[in-house]
Amino acid sequence: MIIIFLTRPSIKVATTIKDIAHALGCSPSTVSRALHDHPQINEDTKKAIRQMAKKMNFQINQVAAGLRKHKTFCIGVIVPSISNYFFSATLSGIQDAASKRQYQVLVCQTNESVVEEERYARALSAGRVDGILLSVSMDSQKHEHLTDLLSQKIPLVLFDRTMDKLDVFKVEAEDYEGSVRVTEHMIKKGCKKIAYLAGPESLINNSRNRLAGYCDALKNNGMAFDKSLMRVCDFDKEKAREAVKELMSQYSDIDGIYAVNDELAVEAILTLKSLGIAVPGQVCVSGFGNYPIAEIVEPQLTTIGHNPYLIGYKAAERIMGEIHRDVSLGNDPRIELVKSSLIERGSTAR
């Protein structure tokens, strides 16, 4: 599936960049860079130029600009799902950042298929976009299609679901730190045997980092990691339900369940209740993501809140910086982490 997000359409007007420059007494190049939100132009100058452009009814002709600069002024975005809360929120951030610099956004949905991911990467690389933002699909076990993009000098930024082996900029949530935080919270609440509903066993960083945070939190609190208490659920609700039933039948002394995301955590709560097990009285449950469903389920879900909108916004800013070879970004870290926070609710209220 491909969706195109368009910014406000251009209209034919007589005003030119030179007209704005003449009115303000600055150079046309300064006007052009300000209108494209270039970081080397200070905010006061940008504001004055934007106000004058609005007053003179000026809009950038992206087609003409693209022909001059050999650019499409379009960003390609490849995501696993547009219906997922996290990705819909990141797309909102991407769109807002892109609109600010007069870019269009072309969105491709892989439905968690690496085959579709590869197909869209090839299609977008055929001159349709100036750069690509990507959150990898669940079953990604290789990255040759992405190294092909880099060999073609196509700017690429990964966000949320990233891969260590690719030397590109990445924008991620504090997956490891958040996982440590929520696991230690459950331990402080008295949990002594915490099961874990894991994400896919693939090259995806966020799933692996959350598992690592869970393991390290146990270790730091004198509790050994027991692999028999972990179930790989692949972000699948049905697998989560079956995992909880299996775990509780085998280990009646489990007093905590932590899930890799909120959707699986909610399934854990519903399954425990169907088994007659009180939450949080007998078993505490925590998730990750602070999805809207976390406040709908009863009891409300303790979780880690991150900021998908900001992740998307920062990823879009980064790819546009890469497209324009923005020297001000040269010393920035290759991985930008967006802060997370513990949100305590009823599912761990003891």
Record the tokens describing residue 185, joined without a space: 């919270």
**Rounded distance between C-alpha atoms, residue 230 and residue 246, angstroms:** 11
**Rounded distance between C-alpha atoms, residue 333 and residue 312, angstroms:** 17
Mean pLDDT of 164-176: 92
Mean pLDDT of 89-99: 97
How many other CB atoms sit within 10 Å of the CB of residue 166?
Answer: 19
For residue 94, the model assigns a pLDDT of 98
How many other CB atoms sit within 10 Å of the CB of residue 79?
Answer: 28
Per-residue pLDDT at 35 exceeds 90: no
45 or 331, which is more confident: 45
User: Following DSSP, what letter does each residue of 72-124 receive, concatenated?
Assistant: --EEEEEES-SSSHHHHHHHHHHHHHHHHTT-EEEEEE-TT-HHHHHHHHHHH
For residue 147, the model assigns a pLDDT of 84
Looking at the chain, how many residues does it have? 350
Q: What phi, psi does 258 have (nearest 5°)?
A: -115, 130
**pTM value surpassing 0.75:** yes
Mean pLDDT of 214-228: 97
Per-residue pLDDT at 66 exceeds 70: no
Mean pLDDT of 339-349: 97
Token pair 């280990």 is found at 251
The tens digit of pLDDT for each residue in 252-302 reads 999 999 999 999 999 999 999 999 999 999 999 999 999 999 999 999 999
Do residues 38 and 321 lie in contact, with contact meaning Cβ atoms separated by under 8 Å?
no
15 or 135, which is more confident: 135
**Rounded distance between C-alpha atoms, residue 227 and residue 214, angstroms:** 12
**Rounded distance between C-alpha atoms, residue 244 and residue 248, angstroms:** 6
In angstroms, what CA-CA distances link 281 with 2, 51, 278, 300?
A: 46, 59, 5, 14
Do residues 320 and 153 lie in contact, with contact meaning Cβ atoms separated by under 8 Å?
no
Per-residue pLDDT at 143 exceeds 90: no
Mean pLDDT of 170-197: 98
Q: What angle do CA 89, 168, 335 make, to 5 degrees?
A: 60
Q: Which pLDDT band, with edges at 50, 70 and 90, does 60 fall under?
A: low
Per-residue pLDDT at 149 exceeds 70: yes
53-62, 99-108, 160-169, 306-315: which has the highest mean pLDDT? 306-315
Q: Which pLDDT band, with edges at 50, 70 and 90, does 24 fall under?
A: very high
245 or 4, which is more confident: 245
E strand map for the chain:
2-5, 74-79, 104-109, 131-134, 156-159, 169-173, 194-198, 230-232, 256-259, 284-286, 303-305, 335-338, 341-343
Per-residue pLDDT at 333 exceeds 70: no
Per-residue pLDDT at 2 exceeds 90: no
Amino acid at the residue 101: R
293 or 7, which is more confident: 293
For residue 150, the model assigns a pLDDT of 83
Record the tokens describing residue 339, joined without a space: 């802060």
In angstroms, what CA-CA distances link 166 with 109, 150, 206?
A: 21, 9, 15
Q: Which of 116-125, 246-255, 320-329, 337-346 has the lowest mean pLDDT?
A: 320-329
- Longest distance between any two alpha carbons in the chain, whole Å: 78
Do residues 256 and 284 lie in contact, with contact meaning Cβ atoms separated by under 8 Å?
yes
Q: Which pLDDT band, with edges at 50, 70 and 90, does 160 fall under?
A: very high
**Rounded distance between C-alpha atoms, residue 147 and residue 78, angstroms:** 16
For residue 326, the model assigns a pLDDT of 58
In angstroms, what CA-CA distances link 238 with 25, 192, 241, 270?
A: 65, 26, 5, 12
In angstroms, what CA-CA distances link 25 with 16, 22, 44, 46, 56?
A: 14, 5, 15, 14, 15
Per-residue pLDDT at 328 exceeds 60: no
241 or 149, which is more confident: 241
* Percent residues over pLDDT 70 in the chain: 90
Per-residue pLDDT at 148 exceeds 90: no
Do residues 347 and 189 lie in contact, with contact meaning Cβ atoms separated by under 8 Å?
no
Query: In whole numbers, what is the pLDDT of the chain averaged over residues?
Result: 89
Domains and CATH numbers, the chain: 69-173+308-339 (3.40.50.2300), 175-305 (3.40.50.2300)
Mean pLDDT of 165-193: 96
For residue 40, the model assigns a pLDDT of 87
Record the tokens describing residue 335, joined without a space: 């991985």
User: Following DSSP, what letter does each residue of 305-322 receive, concatenated?
Assistant: E--HHHHHHHHHHHHHHH
Q: Which pLDDT band, with edges at 50, 70 and 90, does 1 fall under?
A: low
